[in-house]
Structure 1
Amino acid sequence: MSTEPPENPGNTEDAEPGTPGADDASAGGAQVSEAEAELRAQRIERERIERRKAEKRGPVAAGGKLSGRAADLLAAVRAVESGEKPAGTVFEETPAAPRRPAPEPVRRAPVVSGEAVPAADVVAGVREVLVQGGAPEGLAVRAAGVLGEEGAGVLRADPWQLLRVAGVRPEQADGFARALLGAGAGPDDERRGRAVTVWLLEQAALAGHTALEMSALMDALGRQGVPDPEEAVRNAASEGDVLVFRDAVAEAGTPAPQEEGEEEHPVRTLVGLERYALAEESLADGLARLVGSVPGRDGSDQEWERAAASAGGSAGELIRAVAGHGLVLHTGGEASLAEPAALLRAAHAMGLRAWAAAHGPLGRARFAALVEGPGVATVAGLLSGAEGPGRDADGALDLDLLVVLDAPQLDVETAALVTESLPDGARLVLAGDPGVLWSVGAGRVFADLLTARVCPQVASRRPDPGPLGELVSGIGVGELHQVDAPGKEVVIVPVRDAGEAVHRTVQLVVDSVPRAIGVPAEETQVITPGHGGAVGTRALNAALKERLNPGPGRFGGFDPGDRIAHSPAPGRTLPGRVVKADGEGLHLECGDERIVVPKERVEQSVRHGWALTAHQAVGCRWPAVVVVLPGDAVPALSRPWVYTAFSRADRHLSVVHGVEQALPRAVAEVAAKPRTTRLPVLLAPQVPAADG
């Protein structure tokens, strides 16, 4: 199915902090958080691991004759650059002894710190060009950071490179180019076509796509006023800005052709950025290595079977699957977390170095309580080394078994880092609820793997209990049931307009839920579809702050005691609370982590957090949740959104309802927006289909 970038892909009105384009006008500084710096360091580590693997046994074969490896395509592009290959052809073919548990490393207090800004003379040079072209001076630091030491020269030679700065749109770059180049800055300029092609693919990645079908990209280029879209893509490919793929589209039940001379299957032509192409190729390699390798002989067959028999049910099925396979998928709701917890306890009892990683600190604390022991981290902390077992001499994580929770939140780059970081013979379990919203970053890794059926899949038979569990289970299959809630577990609050929605939401949090349900305001979370609008997070947070923690907001609008949502890196949201503010910055408490956000980073990465979006709330649960559905929320509603928002509640759910029949219609008819990815195609030639 053809997918398109959004009609208005640069609209960042409701972008979350920590994502490209969020609150862009305020991002005058180029300092980045420690978490972002760690992610960059992880990519360097990934390259080192790849070199290690190549030295040990050579690269793992990947792709089929029609898809190939991203590295091969990149080599083809380089051949075009050197003149060896015509540009037009770019569109054509394209066992270990048991080990004792490792001691937990010493923890360091996570502190968000700034990174050195570009050199003053570089920033000054870029600022001069920006002013000359009529662009805001405030872009200078960020533009210098993106474009490098030659940033001023780059912009003079190609003004449309300004599109590489987050938040800049084509019409703004066009005005900048006209101011610098005069009449020569026309829509048919080759430089403009290349830059807009890259920009559209970056916007598509923000919507979750790792690549776009050629037809969708052509249409989007046409809407941006590019007169010859095909030539623009060809130029971008010949310059190495993008990669072009032709992937087989196998019909249902029919394998893709493997030998020369076999009947050709339909193909689709995709265009993607090198960053995501290499990540998907690397992820496919890593998954194939896990599926094709023999797990380490940690624990005897008898020990594994005894553990499975003791656990029983689908927990026992999970333990048996993990005993004999390097990659296992586990699906289920909140109650199903008891099963990977049983697996982790059994692995520890057998002497395995076993760890679990959750999406965020709240999920980590929740799972640690189930495990009743050590070995639980966050994914970001595990990869950065701030948490977890550390790495061995080869750079791999020093463990035998890794269980990744909240697996639908894995974007393709994070998933690639996880698989690359695992040593040979290790086992990986990806566990999560397939009904929730997909990752903020590009890709749909968990959904692609479930569809590809390349490894054992264990579906939990533990339903979430009570009226809330019944309600959420029905939503998962497209039905919005009325459930009996004798203990007021589910309450519907109808409203007529936005003003009434805000009033009733505040009343529920401050008075009704504490009085009738016994859940205090600080343990009640509000969830709404977006940040903007009359009933978005901004409006609701302002109203809730006024009632729950009024104050002057002397430090960037915040006061001690404010609930916040901190985004240290794209796709990560840490709910927490303001402790204090001083010369160092804003001191936050996010779960059991103490974080300091420098003053210049506050506006970019911290929002008030009494009200969150559903994407920000993924991976967390609260005793009580108030979901707000104003009349203008209808376009944002889908089954995954409703499922995610409603399933964040442990004991009580109030729904401030102003969308009438749009809610059951969204649950029944509006599925997740499709994402274009290449992972299933890359896996198909490498990994035989798994049974069951």
Structure 2
Amino acid sequence: MSTEPPETPEDGEPTSADAAPAEGTRVSEAEAELAAQRLERERIEQRKAERQGPIAAGTKLSGTAADLLAAVRAVESGEKPAATVFEEARPAPRRPAPEPVRPAPAVTSDPVVPAAGAVEEMRGVLAQGGVPEGLAVRAAEELGEGGAGLLRSDPWQLLRIPGVRPGQADGFARALLGAGAGPDDGRRGRAVAGWLLEQAALAGHTVLEMAALADALGRQGVPEPEGAVQDAISEGDVLVFQDAVGEAGEDEEQPVRVLVGLERYAMAEESLADGLARLVNSVPKQDGGSEEWERAAASAEGSAGELVRAVAGHGLVLHTGGDAASAEPAALLDAAHGLGLRAWAATHAPAGRARFAALVEGPGVATVAGLLSGAEGPGRDADGALDLDLLVVLDAPQLDVESAALVTESLPDGARLVLAGDPGVLGSVGPGRVFGDLLAARVCPQIASRRPDPGPLGELVSGIGVGELPQVAAPGKEVVIVPVRDAGEAVHRTVQLVADSVPRAIGVPAEETQVITPGHGGAVGTRALNAALKERLNPGPGRFGGFDPGDRIAYSPAPGRTLPGRVVTADGEGLHLECGGEEIVVPRERVESSVRHGWALTAHQAVGCRWPAVVVVLPGDAAQALSRPWVYTAFGRAGRHLSVVHGVEQALPRAVAEVTAKPRTTRLPVLLAPQVPAGAGG
């Protein structure tokens, strides 16, 4: 590994889409994402309607757990407003996995826009509480019809608007309620509990342990946090679960843990467990016959043949490997097409779709959002299921519980699902640990690719994956370390690398070089780096909401989703972008909340994408943010060249060796266990 930069001449230096397209045109990624979200909400409402049965009493409990169950029983008896609250004393034999709730084909029209009167009413109540009027449209969408009245009666519902924090909601409440807005107000405790669970979902949790939520409420100034949780359960704002932990001895009570969560994610995780169990326990449709499948497997190379054989006889298969391993799902897709199967693959971004499509011989590659919304892919059959026999989902670690649930429930009976991805990368931005939970549960065949990523970059990333930071030989300057002493030098050298050194010494132009840094803020965060890179590469007044034609951007059509692209122009419709070959128009009122400059991204924003050259910036204050998955993800985005602007000294090898992924609290393994025995199908 070289420790000198490429030759230099000097020393130094969380959404909306445009109008619905005409019939026959490609629907944008943003429209597809929004349509899929609407479909998910409709599906959860269907699930809620089905879950109206009685709630079984739990095992003997005491203390906080007993109080929680008492609150649940109050809901059941009608003493409190009815809500979908349930607990499970211990795993019991579950009914056979039901037929999935088939979502209706999605409509790809624009999202519902709040009525002008509702927005004006919202603007009035926000202004009364000292909240910027720019939030009016977002608040009207989030809170729905009558949202202004809701805020007047319960100002802390402002926390349902993404980006609002408890302190801001407190100020809003004081402005509206005066002295009556105190920290002990039950409305505040319930709203903050919901907000904390939403924040936990952003960190990957689908539920929290009762003690963790109570502790977090206490840190937010809620006087009686356990009582606030009970109140939130009684009012139906959160759900309570009781999951068995370990095995109970003879004459011993079953040990349990009490969890709380939001209905949205609880329904999605349970729906996902049912859908996965249906796939694992079903017999795949016998298309082609065993002899044809075996011939297809024999013609594939190495572990690609193992993947074909596993898919031949199982409804759910997991495939693991790095970037080079994507050739194996591609070989599977080609083999399935050769057998006459209706086979499709889905990636998480248009760039990934184009990259994978180049590996397969025919059509059949879409994005996950486009597939689910109907904007891309085979469409749906008369029952509402996807009209296919085999679906391969790439970048599977990026699946959160909601998108994964919609994928599984959209598959027809007898279909096969392959989840493929690199378990070493950062997990989904949304809640859940779907791929990791399934790998740990061992409920289906797992095929590990033996195809290594090539060259010095492949050797480096492979070493990081096992906790080592190897010194690799890089005769072609594939890997370069650029030491820096402080933040100012880090910014200076980053701009020099992107604008001059990498294009001249490596032959990769600036528009194909991506900067990755740990965070948005700080002296070397994405904001500072993007400002410096814009000044050097595309200076301009930023007359279109801070942007100019030619600016590289990161567009977020939905929370947790990032599409790299560039600005084309702007007009009365909004900001016109090009993202992965698709044209997107972002209305003016959405630009500030959904578009950022994108010469520099975080590793979470960069997951699922690759660039010919990557500059990873590690300033001295980034040491605490580093982990093995972060470094593995950031370094692994480079195709031909990686420069590391290195200011963290020994914190980098220490993070790779010692700092693993943060644990996520989920229920998927518990929900799967009664339905699918461990090792089933393997």
Tell me whether the two structures share a fold, i.e. TM-score over 0.5: yes
Query: So what's the TM-score if we normalise by structure 2?
Result: 0.87
How far apart, CA to CA, are the structure 1 residues paired with 2:46 and 2:450? 38
Q: 8 Å contact 2:44–2:264 — kept in the other structure?
A: no
How far apart, CA to CA, are the structure 2 residues paired with 1:161 and 1:114? 26
Gaps of 5+ in 2: 1-13, 17-28, 60-68, 91-106
Residue 555 (1) aligns with residue 544 (2): yes
C-alpha change, 1:309 and 1:45, in structure 2 (3 Å) is: farther
Query: So what's the TM-score if we normalise by structure 1?
Result: 0.85
- For 2:643, the equivalent position in structure 1 comes to 654
> CA RMSD of the aligned region, Å?
3.0
Letter of the aligned partner of 1:580 in structure 2? T
C-alpha change, 1:417 and 1:261, in structure 2 (3 Å) is: farther
Residue 409 (1) aligns with residue 398 (2): yes
C-alpha change, 1:219 and 1:18, in structure 2 (3 Å) is: farther
Among residues 25, 31, 35, which one is paired with 1:34 in the alignment?
31
How far apart, CA to CA, are the structure 2 residues paired with 1:559 and 1:86? 52
Among residues 312, 325, 332, which one is paired with 1:343 in the alignment?
332
Among residues 163, 166, 170, which one is paired with 1:167 in the alignment?
163
Task: Write the mapping of 1:299-378 to structure 2, written as runs, cut at 5 A.
Answer: 299-378=288-367
Q: 8 Å contact 2:239–2:260 — kept in the other structure?
A: yes
Residue 237 (1) aligns with residue 226 (2): no
How far apart, CA to CA, are the structure 1 residues paired with 2:423 and 2:503? 32
- For 2:409, the equivalent position in structure 1 comes to 420
SS of structure 1 residue aligned to 2:675: coil
- Aligned-pair CA distance for 1:544: 1.6
Letter of the aligned partner of 2:300 in structure 1? A
Letter of the aligned partner of 1:123 in structure 2? V
Alignment deviations for residues 623-653 of structure 1 (CA, whole Å, 9 cap, x no partner): 1111111111112110000000000111111
- For 1:211, the equivalent position in structure 2 comes to 207
Residue 286 (1) aligns with residue 275 (2): yes
C-alpha change, 1:391 and 1:455, in structure 2 (3 Å) is: same
- Aligned-pair CA distance for 1:418: 0.4
- For 2:118, the equivalent position in structure 1 comes to 122
SS of structure 2 residue aligned to 1:320: helix
How far apart, CA to CA, are the structure 2 residues paired with 1:359 and 1:86? 38
Q: 8 Å contact 1:472–1:647 — kept in the other structure?
A: yes
- For 2:470, the equivalent position in structure 1 comes to 481
- Aligned-pair CA distance for 1:77: 7.1
Among residues 612, 633, 645, which one is paired with 1:623 in the alignment?
612
Which stretch has the larger CA shift, 398-407 or 181-190?
181-190
Letter of the aligned partner of 1:205 in structure 2? A
Q: 8 Å contact 1:81–1:239 — kept in the other structure?
A: no
C-alpha change, 1:262 and 1:240, in structure 2 (3 Å) is: same
- For 1:148, the equivalent position in structure 2 comes to 144
C-alpha change, 1:76 and 1:304, in structure 2 (3 Å) is: farther
Letter of the aligned partner of 2:657 in structure 1? A
Among residues 453, 460, 465, which one is paired with 1:464 in the alignment?
453
**Aligned residue pairs: how many?**
628
How far apart, CA to CA, are the structure 2 residues paired with 1:538 and 1:362? 24
- For 2:580, the equivalent position in structure 1 comes to 591
Which stretch has the larger CA shift, 307-316 or 597-606?
597-606
Alignment deviations for residues 32-56 of structure 1 (CA, whole Å, 9 cap, x no partner): 963453134322563698699x9xx
Q: Percent same amino acid at aligned positions?
A: 80
- Aligned-pair CA distance for 1:598: 2.0
- Aligned-pair CA distance for 1:85: 11
SS of structure 2 residue aligned to 1:397: coil
How far apart, CA to CA, are the structure 2 residues paired with 1:415 and 1:517? 40
How far apart, CA to CA, are the structure 2 residues paired with 1:114 and 1:301? 46
Task: Write the mapping of 1:125-140 to structure 2, written as runs, cut at 5 A.
Answer: 125-140=121-136
C-alpha change, 1:228 and 1:86, in structure 2 (3 Å) is: farther
How far apart, CA to CA, are the structure 1 residues paired with 2:544 and 2:515? 24
Q: 8 Å contact 1:63–1:683 — kept in the other structure?
A: no
Residue 493 (1) aligns with residue 482 (2): yes
SS of structure 1 residue aligned to 2:522: coil
Residue 605 (1) aligns with residue 594 (2): yes
How far apart, CA to CA, are the structure 1 residues paired with 2:171 and 2:300? 66
Which stretch has the larger CA shift, 173-182 or 532-541?
173-182
Among residues 509, 512, 523, which one is paired with 1:523 in the alignment?
512
How far apart, CA to CA, are the structure 2 residues paired with 1:146 and 1:93? 35
- Aligned-pair CA distance for 1:503: 1.1
- Aligned-pair CA distance for 1:262: 7.7
